[in-house]
Structure 1
Amino acid sequence: MRISVIVITYNWPQALDAVLQGLERQRELPFEVIVTDDGSSEETRKVLARHARTFPVRLTHIWQPDDGARMSRARNRGILAARGDYIVLLDGDMVPSAHFIADHRAFAQRGCFVQGSRMLPNEQATRRMFANGRFQPHFFTRGLQRRRHSLRLLWLARAWAQPRTTRRGIKSCNMGFWREDLIAINGFNEAMTGWGREDAELAVRAFNYGLMRRDMRFAGMATHLWHRSRKYEGRSINDEILDVAVARGLQRCEHGIDAHLGEFAQPPEDLRADVAA
């Protein structure tokens, strides 16, 4: 099983730097890392170029113009560009623990997708992490929410991961899917822009398609660096699109991954090739 990690980023190069450091220090490396970029400036390219000098696996960068928050489109392009069998979705402010990839591999199961967890350092704790360069909190770290997720207890994680169907706690910042399943449901819904609900809508269609959800608690940990919330107040058009998917039992979305078919007939360039040249 070849694991492709798709990291979505937008104009936070310091956080992306920490995420890439976490990925290159994995006890078990992925097949490739694809950074899909929703319109970042040149500073993000510089971070990627620096990591390409020593990165241990294939590293690619897919950029799209900054035209508002188009996370669904960015992720769909990353999924199509991937050459792995299994996709791990990771946000560009989620620093993975050393066993992150190994745990995703262990919990991958046909007919299911995996919902991972996260630790939430507060603003002060996040500042300390950037200052000292250490992004792996422990149970007693000051300013840490969801601190139970700092515990790696595989026996408990396996007991917790019974397949089920519930939308509660769906977060695309740490998820694992078989690539063929994402293509079958047409990926993320690109009619959904701005903040939120695109992950819940994806999960609804996955359930309608027949997939189950496995929660990965006490394994596959990642540290979600603090930032100001981008949540909207009240309902948005994304809520209405989600309601339609639920009411109609949709499996595929109309505006999805198939809009980009053929774009990556040739795989994106490995950034390490530029260094070698």
Structure 2
Amino acid sequence: MQKNISVVISTYNSPEWLKKVIWGYNTQTYRNFEMVIADDGSRQDTFDLIEEMKKEVFYPIIHVWHEDNGFQKSQILNKAILACTTDYIMMSDGDCIPRPDFVEQHIKFREEGYFLSGGYHKLPMDLSKNITKEDIYSGKCFDVNWLKKNGMESSFKNQKVNAVGMKSWFLNLLTPTTPSWNGHNASGWKKDIVAINGFDERMQYGGQDRELGERLVNYGIKPKQIRYSTVCLHLDHPRGYATPESINKNRNIRKETKELKKKWTDFGIVKK
């Protein structure tokens, strides 16, 4: 059966987190998808894990890899986009465990002329480490009471974990957060992403996902807010690749995109 959505998962040397994410996609209510892993230069243990997990999960996995050359997520995502075999692309990260209805909600809300903007719920490090395969397969890790018992602090943001139906619709309506292309939870039509030439490969850590969304908006694609409808748990990790230089460089590129209303980057999938 022809797949009709590609799930792009970015990763780099985090096999323990990636394994939990792959298990999460094995619980999905909507099953007609492929996974494309955008691997920014991981070591052999990630290759071994992916080969092992291919035997366990019901969906096909395509592993796209390039040599480690520092943080080059934009480059590997462009390669992953080209490797997708479907018309519709959902993007998330190798540290985000999806709720069982995650893919289903992206399919439900997708619409021509739009991209979808989701959110995430961040977990503390101890809880991130302690979530097991059984917790994911049973759905316990999406039970707010269970999460609280295991170290998650009480917060209004906890509403995100189990919001469904009218509650999620209402919270999507109320949220003051502007919908944007988020690397951990966003989706759009492949033809639209290709039309703006994908990610700007000059950009390293800090806002490259949002810049892609800003060019989609300049191209005429509208963002749709679904942060309370598509839920994923963000596992904690250090961010050693965040440097002031990369953040400043990216800020300047985004400023130019906004001021000039740029739709296309010369530094994307197609190189000049």
TM-score for both structures, normalised by structure 2: 0.87
- CA shift digits 1:238-262 (9 cap, x unpaired): 11111111111100111101249xx
Tell me the equivalent position of 2:234.
224
**SS at 1:60's partner residue?**
strand
Contact in 2 for aligned 1:201/1:242 (Cα 8 Å): yes
Cα distance 1:32–1:213, how it changes in 2: closer, same or farther (>3 A)?
same
Tell me the equivalent position of 1:5.
7
Contact in 2 for aligned 1:4/1:30 (Cα 8 Å): no
Q: CA deviation at 1:60?
A: 1.0
**SS at 1:220's partner residue?**
coil
Contact in 1 for aligned 2:118/2:230 (Cα 8 Å): yes
**Aligned partner of 1:226: which letter?**
D
**Aligned partner of 1:178: which letter?**
W
Aligned residue pairs, count: 256
Tell me the equivalent position of 2:144.
139
Distance 1:130 1:233 in 2: 35
Q: CA deviation at 1:31?
A: 2.3
Distance 1:26 1:108 in 2: 17
**Aligned partner of 1:19: which letter?**
V
Deviates more, 1:121-130 or 1:40-49: 121-130
Tell me the equivalent position of 2:41.
39
Distance 1:216 1:30 in 2: 21
Cα distance 1:259–1:83, how it changes in 2: closer, same or farther (>3 A)?
farther
Contact in 1 for aligned 2:96/2:184 (Cα 8 Å): yes
- CA shift digits 1:94-118 (9 cap, x unpaired): 1111111101101111111101111
Distance 1:170 1:156 in 2: 23
Cα distance 1:131–1:60, how it changes in 2: closer, same or farther (>3 A)?
closer
Contact in 2 for aligned 1:116/1:217 (Cα 8 Å): yes
Q: CA deviation at 1:149?
A: 1.1
Distance 1:68 1:118 in 2: 25
Cα distance 1:64–1:168, how it changes in 2: closer, same or farther (>3 A)?
same
1:150 aligns with 2:153: no
Q: Which runs of 4+ in 1 moved over 6 A?
A: none
**SS at 2:75's partner residue?**
helix
- CA shift digits 1:176-201 (9 cap, x unpaired): 111111001111110112x1110111
Question: Superposition pairs for residues 39-188 of structure 1, below 5 Å?
Answer: 39-130=41-132, 133-134=135-136, 136-140=141-145, 141-142=147-148, 143-144=152-153, 146-159=157-170, 170-188=181-199
Distance 1:149 1:37 in 2: 28
Distance 2:62 2:239 in 1: 28
Distance 1:95 1:244 in 2: 34
Q: Which runs of 5+ in 1 are unaligned?
A: 261-277
Q: CA deviation at 1:133?
A: 4.8
| Percent of pairs with identical residues | 26
TM-score for both structures, normalised by structure 1: 0.85
Tell me the equivalent position of 1:236.
248
Tell me the equivalent position of 2:265.
253
Distance 2:244 2:196 in 1: 29
Contact in 1 for aligned 2:182/2:210 (Cα 8 Å): yes
Contact in 1 for aligned 2:20/2:133 (Cα 8 Å): no
Q: CA deviation at 1:131?
A: 8.9
Cα distance 1:74–1:103, how it changes in 2: closer, same or farther (>3 A)?
same
Contact in 2 for aligned 1:97/1:220 (Cα 8 Å): yes
Distance 1:258 1:160 in 2: 39
Q: CA deviation at 1:128?
A: 2.4
Q: Which runs of 5+ in 2 are unaligned?
A: none
